[in-house]
Amino acid sequence: MLISGESYSSEVMLFRPHMVTSVCTDMTLFEHLKTVWKFAEAASTGDRTCALDFAVSFQFKKTAHGYVSKWVHESFKLCIS
């Protein structure tokens, strides 16, 4: 979703043993950006598997980024349905 040459910084925190969060810290590209990753034991019996709950909340500062983001989101929904 980033246009060539754009970047942002974030702070990543590990909350042992099951959660990771990431929050945008420079706020040049986003009004806000936060992700949360929660890990749990998977229902399967595989040794190296887990269940993942992922959440993201964000808003771009530039309208053009918002349009690109919406297009990517809609395309992704079509791919997984």
Residue 13: predicted pLDDT:
96
pTM listed for this prediction: 0.68
Does 5 fall in a domain?
no
pLDDT along the chain (81 residues), means of 10: 70 94 89 92 76 85 73 68 54
CATH number at residue 66: 3.30.310
- Domain, as residue range, for 23: 10-80
For position 80, what pLDDT does the model report?
Answer: 61
Indicate whether 51 belongs to any domain: yes
| Sign of the four-CA dihedral 42, 10, 2, 5 | negative
| The total number of structural domains that make up the chain | 1
Dihedrals φ, ψ of 28, to 5°? -85, -30
Q: Is residue 3 part of a domain?
A: no
Give me 22's structure tokens: 């990431």
> So what's the pLDDT on residue 1?
47
